[in-house]
Amino acid sequence: MQLFQETWLGFLKAAWLTVELTAVSLVIAIVIGLIFAFFRISDNKFLVGIAKLYITLIRGTPLILQIMVLYFGIAKVVLLSDFWAGALALAVHSGAYIAEIFRGTIQSIEKGQMEAARSLGMSYPIAMRRIILPQAFKRAIPPLGNQFIIGLKDSSLVGLLGFPELYLLSQSTAARTFLQFEAYAIAGLYYLVLVLIFTYIINRLETRLHVEKVGVRT
C-alpha cells in the first residue's frame, strides 16, 4: 500500500507517543487507585463515602466528557501540555477501575495473614506493606494488564486535545490525502499490533510469576 509506505515513519512515532501516554497515565492511575482502594476498605465512613462517590462518578459518565471537563478545569488553574493534560485525564478515569482491582486483590488475601502479622508485633501499615500488598500486587497483574490494554485504546480520545497520537494522525492523513479508509485502516493496524505485543508481554509476565488470577469484587 503506497500510503502505508509514505506514512509509516510518522505513524510509528505516533504509536510510540501513544504507548508513552498510556504508560504514564497507568503509573499515575495506580497511585490514585491504591489511595482510593485504601479508602474503600477503611473503617472511616467519610473516606469510604469519598471513594464511592469518585468511583460512581467515573463509572457513570463517558470518558470523553471526563477528558474535556478535566482538561478545561485544569487549564483554569495551571497550564499543562496536551500530553500531561491527557495523561492526567486518563489516569483519573483508570484510577477508579484500578481502585476496585486493588480492593478486590487486597480483600482476597486471607485475613489470617494480617492477624498473624499483628500478633508478631507489626503495626497495621507495616503488615500491609510487607505482607499484604506484595501478594495483592502480584494478583493484580492480570487485571492491571487488561486495564493497560483498555487505556491504550482509550488514548485515542486524547487526540481531541490536539495530542499527536495515532488517531489524530490518521485524521490529519485522511484529510490531507482524501484516502479516509486507508488512513484509518493503517491506524487500526498499528493499534492491533500494539495490543498483540502487550498482550503477549503480559501473558509471559503472568506465566513467569505464576500469577493466581483472582476475581475482583464489585
Q: DSSP letter string over 97-120?
A: HHHHHHHHHHHHS-HHHHHHHHHT
Which residue pairs, CB below 8 angstroms and at least 24 apart, start in 47-51? Answer: 51/99
Q: 191-207, pLDDT tens digit by residue? A: 999 999 999 999 988 88
Q: Which of 147, 199, 163, 157 is nearest to 16 (CA)?
A: 163
Q: 71-125, pLDDT tens digit by residue? A: 888 767 777 788 888 899 999 999 999 999 999 999 998 888 888 888 888 888 8
- For domain 2-209, the question of CATH label 1.10.10.10 is answered with no
pTM: 0.87
